Amino acid sequence: MSYSLQIGVRYLRSKKRATVSMITLISIIGVALGVAALLAVLSITTGFEQAFRDKVLGVNAHVLVLKSGREFRDYRDVLATVGEMEGVAGIAPCSINEMMLTKGERRAVVLVKGVTPEGLQTVLDLPNQMIAGDLRGLRRPGSTPTAAL
């Protein structure tokens, strides 16, 4: 018997009898149940964290290339340069604007993000995150652009 096992068995046994005492047995079971509960909670939390990360990263681009100022006229050149970089999976132009929504007396400032339907498939996982509807009707020739909320 190894030295560490010998010490463990020595302290598990009762001092008066050669058997394990009831208090020791209850303590061991309590510690085992506590560790099992902790492992279960950590496993569930890790699963939720992964699902949350997939949802958040799925509807947001991983990298945004921004220009300070009002207009970004040479964005096509920047798109071509970024698209040639190693490791880039997809590129798409987008527009990010602050807006105010009102309903009756209620107001809220929101950030509206827009991306072309053609570029959507390469940069976002939005179709898989949608609860209802689809993206087929977003761009019709000659029509006013629509939105997906």
| In the predicted structure, residue 135 carries a pLDDT above the cut 70 | no
Q: What is the pLDDT of residue 129?
A: 67
Task: Please say whether the beta carbons of 126 and 148 come within 8 A.
Answer: yes
Higher pLDDT, 95 or 133: 95
* Per-residue pLDDT tens over the stretch 35-92: 999 999 998 888 888 777 777 766 677 777 777 777 777 888 888 888 888 888 788 8
3-state secondary structure of 105: coil
- C-alpha distances in Å from residue 99, one per residue of 66, 67, 71, 88, 120: 19, 19, 18, 31, 22
Tokens found for residue 104: 């009756």
Q: Which pLDDT band holds residue 115 (cuts at 50, 70, 90)? A: confident
